[in-house]
Amino acid sequence: MPILTLECLSQTYGKEYGKKMSDYAKLGVLYYVIYNPHYYKRDKHAPLEIYRLANGQYMLCIGQPFFMKELGLAIGHESGTYREWQRDWLYWYNKSRTRLLTAEERAQVAFSEGEQKKAFEAAHKMLADGLDSAIIFKYTGISAEVLSTITND
């Protein structure tokens, strides 16, 4: 039995707040999540609603991101950019409600860390070659203050 069902709504109403909700409750699906970022006003609901099954009925959960202890994750929505597309997105969060990075964001972090490592390696070599800190800053972007920590290592 699934622990979570996620409905992403389109412009066509599909009985997500009625029959589907009742059907999932009968099946015993613990969490029923409805993401309706574009038509929530039409449907008179919030853009993201998380329901938890209790005594055979779904109860609306309050707060976002909402932590689901059975999954060890929280779910929420916020504005973001993916492949240059700015809009409201669903995101997963950890127990402390820190948003988990997307694959694209993790790649960007890894690239930045790799570039930073290359810059530090170049600065270290330039220092060893006796270059002035102003020249090192010009080519690596590493300040004299940070360079002083490299010389102390």
Q: What is the pLDDT of residues 68-81, one digit of tens each?
A: 999 999 999 999 88
pLDDT at 5 over 90: yes
Number of Cβ atoms within 10 Å of the Cβ of 58: 20
- Same domain, residue pair 48 and 19: yes
- One domain, residues 93 and 113: no
Residues 96 and 109 in one domain: no
pTM of the model: 0.70
pLDDT of residue 45: 87
**Average confidence (pLDDT) over 133-144:** 79
Question: Do 147 and 91 fall into the same domain?
Answer: no
Shared domain for 95 and 109, answered yes or no, is no
Say what percent of the chain tops pLDDT 90.
44
Average pLDDT over all residues of the chain = 86
pLDDT-derived band at 146, boundaries 50, 70, 90: confident
Same domain, 96 and 122: no
Say yes or no: 68 and 141 in one domain: no
Which pLDDT score is estimated for 152? 54
User: Tell me: the pLDDT tens digits for 32-59?
Assistant: 999 988 877 777 889 999 999 999 999 9
CB-CB contact of 123 with 136 (8 Å): yes
72 and 128, same domain (yes or no): no
Q: Is residue 13 located within the same domain as residue 70?
A: yes
Looking at the predicted structure, is the pLDDT value of residue 151 above 70? Answer: no
Query: Number of folded domains in the chain?
Result: 2
pLDDT tens column, 93-107: 999 999 998 877 887
Of 100, 116, 141, the residue that ends a domain is: 100
Domain span holding position 38: 4-100
Q: How far apart are CA 60 and CA 32, in angstroms?
A: 9
Tell me how far apart the alpha carbons of residues 33 and 43 are, in angstroms, rounded to a whole number: 15
- Token representation of residue 139: 């080519």
Between the alpha carbon of residue 95 and those of residues 3, 36, 102, the distances in Å are: 17, 24, 17
Q: What average pLDDT score do residues 107-136 get? A: 80
Identity of the highest mean pLDDT range in 74-88, 104-118, 131-145:
74-88
Same domain? For 22 and 74 the reply is yes
Domain boundary among 82, 100, 118: 100
Residues 53 and 80 both lie in one domain: yes
* Phi-psi sector, 41: left (phi>0), alpha (psi -120 to 50), beta: alpha
Check whether residue 115 and residue 87 sit in a common domain: no
